[in-house]
Structure 1
């Protein structure tokens, strides 16, 4: 028996977006409770970028992470204040400023990753192996450029 859209609850993109937002918000709330360091996910993303790519210009970090330059400036201020990152000047052009990660910042990324692994296990253990594989395939399919 073929089921048409008329016999099913009307699906809207807004319901999907809302459901995805609820899952994401729940993840962020749970992570913030677990990782009690007065740092948000965006701070950790900046530190992780610096750990992988080394010193970087803030404007480049903002572009890569999809943040506005003022947002990156705000994040960088807190990271520098907490001694997780440092500002560095270019030796050949003192006007160019880079952001670099400190040893303390690298340790923080490591701890955040461990907490993230624990949260992922906690959240996804309610799904079967098949459901996890399905979810991964769906997200991979939706994240491919058109």
Structure 2
């Protein structure tokens, strides 16, 4: 692949992703960023987890996860619990309120993506789906 074409592809992909995040931030009125939602999604899917494990799985630094956790706990979207057998181990878990916010965030993300992909023809959507499948292999 020509270097300029590869650069354009990466640039346009990044631009699309950034615009999608900006649009989501404008429409989702919870004062949370995508990273907060990713943490809630992890907790919802995997249950209570050690912050160090969440950071590793999501590719975040421990200090970043600490910052995100503080806000989630302050907003009562997550709780910290201590391991009964080893009080040094702390877990982060999602609350019912956190699950509800995660659901609304997911619905808003789906709505945004649906609006964007409706701009494509059926054939273009099929091509894009095939490209994503190929890249995910």
Q: TM-score, normalised by structure 2?
A: 0.93
- Taking only aligned residues, the RMSD between alpha carbons, in angstroms, comes to 1.5
Deviations 1:97-144 (A, max 9, x none): 110001110110111111111111111110012111211211221222
Higher Rg of the two aligned structures: 1
Q: Please show how residues 35-114 of structure 1 align to structure 2 within 5 Å.
A: 35-114=28-107
Unmatched 5+ residue regions in structure 1? none
Runs of 4 or more above 6 Å deviation: none
Number of residue-to-residue matches in the alignment? 137
1:119 paired to 2:127 = no
Q: Which has the higher helix share?
A: 2
CA positional deviation for 1:34: 1.0
Q: TM-score, normalised by structure 1?
A: 0.88
Unmatched 5+ residue regions in structure 2? none
